[in-house]
Each structure stands twice: as C-alpha cells, then as structure tokens.
Copies of this chain bind each other. A is one copy, B any other.
C-alpha cells in the first residue's frame, strides 16, 4: 500500500491529526502547515495547534484528554504529555447536549422506498417465516428453499423472496425473564419489520416461546399480514412444509404491489455495526461513517448505535449528549446491567487501553472507546432502547446489545433498522435479511483482497487522498442507493439466512 497521505484529520474541530503511516522527522504535513520535528509512528497523534498545559486534546471532535505539558504544533501527543482529568468519566447528563441543526435543503437526500399502508417505509420486500423455536428451523428453511427455488415468485418481481428466520433457541429456557423478552421482541420486530410484507410464525407446538403468547402480548390475529402454524397440530414435518408452501402461494396475490416512490431520508433508520476492527478502523471507516450518520440525522433520519461492551468507559460522553435526563439515565442503567451480567457470568467489562493499544497510539480509555463510537457521529443522543425494542425517535439512538456482530445486528433489525453499515478492518462475511448490510473496508488491502464482500473502500482516506468528509458523502450516497434497491455485495452473495442470531440471555435448561 503506497502512502500518499501522512496524516488524517478526523474532524475540523480537532487540534490533533493521526499519522496514517510512520511520519519521518522533518515532514511537512500537507494541509496542516506544521512540521513534524521527530518521527511519529502510524496511528499516533500529532498536534496541529499549540495546546497549552491543561487545555483539552480534541480528536473525533471530542475531548479525549488534557495536555499535561505545553504541546507545540507538530509534536507527538501521547501518554508523555496527555492524560484524562479526574472527572472525565463523571456522568453529567445532557451537559453537552446541542439540538440537531436540521437541514432545510432536501435536494438529493431522498431514496426510492416502499411506503407501507401504516406510513412506514421499506427498503426491501420479503415474506418472513419466523420460527418460534429451533424445533421448526428445518421446516421453515425447507419452505423458503421450495418457494425461492421454484418459479412461484416469477410473477411477483416486487417480492425479494422468502426469508427463513431460523435460530437455536425458543425452548429449554425460562418463559418470563429477560432472555424470553429479548426473543419476543426480536420475533415480533422481524414479523412487523417495514421490509416485510407478510409473516408466518411456525412453531413445534409445545415450546416455551408459544405463538399464543406472542398473539396475546402484541394483540395480532390471523389475516393477510400474519399467519401461524404448528407442526404438532398440522401433522408433522412434511405436512407442515406442504401447508406453509400452499399458504405462501395463496397469500401472494393478496399482498398487493410494492411500488417504490421518492421518500425523504428522514424515513431511513440506519444501523451502525463494526466487526473485525483493526488499527485503521478509528481513523478511516468509523469517523467517515460517523460523519455520514450525522448527515442522516441532519436530514431528519435515524441512526442506531449499539455494541454496549465496546463503548464501555466512554458512555458518559453519550450521556452528556443525552436529550433528557431520562434518556441519559437509561444508558447508565444499561451500563450497570452489563456490569452485573458479566460478573454473574464470571467475566468482566474492561475497555482500558491495553499495552498493545498504547503502542498503537491510543492514549486514554476515552480515545479507545471513541474509536468505536466514532461511527455514531456527534449527534445528540435522542433515545436509548433495549435490545430489539422498537425505535420511534429520530436522530441518534442507542440500542443495547453485545458487540458480537450477528447478535447485535439481529437486535438492530428487530428495532426497525432498514439498512446496516458495517465497518471492518480484518474482513467480514456478514450479510442480513430482511434489511441489507453494506460493508465498509477500513483499509485498501482488505478492499482488494475481499472484492466480493466489500462494498466501499475507506482505506483511500489514508492512501488515496480522500478526506473523511468526502468519504462520508460517498457513504451517504451509497446508503441512499442501497435503500433504493441497489444490491449490496452481501445481497449479491445471498447472505442473511444464517446470520439471524437472537441474543440469548439466561440459563439453557
């Protein structure tokens, strides 16, 4: 990889830039007008303005620590001259809240979406087969294979296919704990997703996660939109497959068309995800995605940040951007929940920079967690929701979840995201249905080595002269194009049938 750019500016507000490769002594940083007096390693910070002792060091547009000595422009900023203050992790709910400056100019900030009868907008149009338990996993996969592999859908080009939402749980579990509630929300969130035009729940019959329980909880009844079947009542595996295939064939004519029309970007809910991070994640893809997220929020849309363990230690930064005391407190409550969850399970939450992190240029816990939260941008925190809980706010919303990609993305889709942007440095083979995933490479080497998986290269922020701002614009355009129906790489590969992984909490009994 040829390095054309020696340092990356992550935000116009920053007083540091990040070395995109080792910066030799004497280098004049392009665009910054500063000379680097001594070699700075890749990933480390370089001051671009004088930072007097006690002043904030700003990266990602956020305070990551304070100068412990006077720092001159061009100097290496790290543990020898930068540290966190004693109160940097205090919760001051809403202290940094600034209302979103909504853009008035909508030109170009629209996509071709599918308007549903209830006013919501889909980016895809699937029939969902929802297994309530692993015991019906094979049945729903056979049904999906039968329909998708036949010519039944040829007459319905506006249907993207039948998706089988098979998973490993649904029984051998408590029926009234957080794990059961997670699964309920996920099943219901998928069944009612704006990218789904009809849902068939298929159970075995005697499982903990009863269809009747979902009916009672969410008050749905059979109709064109929702259908239910159990294997035990239908007479076994083969008869249930036949019955469900017929059911799909019968409802198809009643589902109506799904004409795409111009809708404003404010109708879009974009989920943010990362997996297989590398040293470039916090310099290229995450900050660029964060700026794109801010743009979407400025256009009135919604972005969903998640992966609670990865923001741990910097959650107070989000708390300070909270739109209300209640929202701030909800995030603090989830952090406390995670501390308990990991302790109960004999693990621990710890996001302190490791020796390896420090060698890589990360100075404080704030800076480390900001590398992950950077993809959420700098918008105020509009709401905090539970895993898979329906999101109704616009703006930046935090959905609680593990960092584990399939479990986190499953919750984000259940919460209503119609699209996912997924940054990866080491490479990911993730894909999702009914909401598609766009994958952003943090470095050009990855983009070139996994061409069938990567949608967009953010590595050219380092080696191709792209700025974070221009890359954000490119991501935003890509998001609108895929929302309008353009197939992402993971969709072209057909991925998404095996990545539905509801977050399982609680004992398996």
A contact residues vs B (CB 8 Å cutoff) = 134-139, 141-142, 166-168, 171-174, 177, 204-206, 231-232, 235-240, 275-276, 309, 341-342, 344-347, 402-407, 426-431, 449-454, 493-499, 501, 503-509
Contact for A405 among B172, B405, B503, CB less than 8 A:
B172
CB pair A452–B509 under 8 Å, yes or no, is: no
Known: A138-B499, A204-B428. 5 other contacts (CB 8 A): A142-B494, A341-B507, A347-B506, A347-B507, A503-B508
CA distance A474 to B68 in the complex (A): 82
For this complex, 7 residue pairs linking A to B, each with C-beta atoms less than 8 Å apart, are A138-B497, A168-B168, A168-B407, A205-B426, A236-B450, A347-B507, A503-B508
| Chain copies in complex | 2
CB pair B141–A498 under 8 Å, yes or no, is: yes
The 8 A-B pairs at the shortest CB distance, nearest first, are namely A172-B404, A236-B450, A137-B498, A345-B507, A168-B501, A238-B452, A232-B427, A402-B508
CB pair B499–A137 under 8 Å, yes or no, is: yes
Q: A237-B495, A345-B344, A498-B134 are in contact. Are A139 and B429 (CB under 8 A)?
A: yes
CB distance from A374 to the nearest CB of B (A): 20
CB distance from A50 to the nearest CB of B (A): 40
Q: A137-B498, A206-B276, A236-B427 are in contact. Are A168 and B167 (CB under 8 A)?
A: yes
CA distance A500 to B189 in the complex (A): 25
Contacts of A449 in B (CB 8 A): 235-236
Contacts of A167 in B (CB 8 A): 168
Contact for A134 among B141, B342, B493, B499, CB less than 8 A:
B499
Contact for A138 among B206, B309, B426, B495, CB less than 8 A:
B495
Chain B: CB-nearest residue to A448: B235
Q: A237-B493, A238-B493 are in contact. Are A345 and B172 (CB under 8 A)?
A: no
Contacts of A139 in B (CB 8 A): 429
Chain B: CB-nearest residue to A174: B347
CB pair A404–B232 under 8 Å, yes or no, is: no
CA distance A501 to B167 in the complex (A): 9
